[in-house]
Structure 1
Amino acid sequence: MAFDLAVKRIYEPPAPDDGQRVLVDRIWPRGVSKKDAALTLWLKDIAPSDELRKWFGHEPARWAEFRERYRVELDGNEEAVGRLRGLLRHGKVTLLYGAHDEAHNNAVALAGYVRGTD
């Protein structure tokens, strides 16, 4: 099933075409107010475990291994993944994250997982 799914830094302003805005970080991003975030949902339970997040440290050399380990965590997290898939059945979802690296972060890995391309 093809989903209308986007990935965006939470520090970018909300846009009308974002659809449902879902923060997928376990930790609230520094300097962002809840009002400015304009969230539909903060789905922190879908974020990587603290252990995995700290191990990865946003090091591109660990990206492939991070995606594999995160996939295993997601496979065991049916409730949170089911919530996200439920939102996707109702229209576009934009996954929001706080990391500086736009290519190597949990939202990108999660989008690949949900799309079945990762």
Structure 2
Amino acid sequence: MRVQAANVRTKSVYEPADPTDGRRVLTTQYWARGIPRTAVDEYVRKLGPSRELLHAFKRAEIDWAAYKIFYLEEMQNEEAKSEIRRLAQVAQDETITLMCVCKDESICHRTLLRDLILAAKTP
């Protein structure tokens, strides 16, 4: 069974919470500065890009095209795949909002993660 696209949203953790967010899932390696733990429902560090990848991108050592390739490779480990499948199962019954500190979702891993969740096969 596939997840409905409307059930998987993305936003910056710095945007105000909204009742339509459903389950708010922070997916970063680092906790977001100034954000209380109560602002999110789950913190799934393993779905964030590695520190090395994040630093390379932030320092402009790699471009977005390379970042996408490396991030998707990082998500091929069993631990990440398991979390992706779990979130896909959750999203079958409720809305989830994937969050990161990036303001521009067009160059943020959360959009890539959303696609992985939407493509995940669930029982």
| Same structural fold, with TM-score higher than 0.5 when normalized by the shorter chain | yes
Deviations 1:43-100 (A, max 9, x none): 11111111111112185x7112111111111122222222322321221110011123
Gaps spanning 5+ residues in structure 1: where? none
Offset of 1:42 from its aligned partner? 0.5
Name the counterpart of 1:73.
Answer: 74
Q: CA RMSD in A?
A: 1.8
Structure 1 pair 11/82, CA: closer, same or farther in 2 (3 Å)? same
Matches for 1:52-63 after TM superposition, within 5 Å: 52-57=53-58, 59=60, 62-63=63-64
> Once the two structures are aligned, what percentage of the paired residues are identical?
27
1:111 correspondence with 2:109:
no
Matches for 1:5-20 after TM superposition, within 5 Å: 5-20=8-23
Matches for 1:66-105 after TM superposition, within 5 Å: 66-76=67-77, 77-105=80-108
Cα distance in 1 for partners of 2:95, 2:32 equals 22
Name the counterpart of 2:52.
Answer: 51
* Aligned positions, number: 113
* 8 Å Cα contact 1:5-1:111 kept in structure 2: yes
Gaps spanning 5+ residues in structure 2: where? none
Query: TM-score, normalised on structure 1?
Result: 0.83
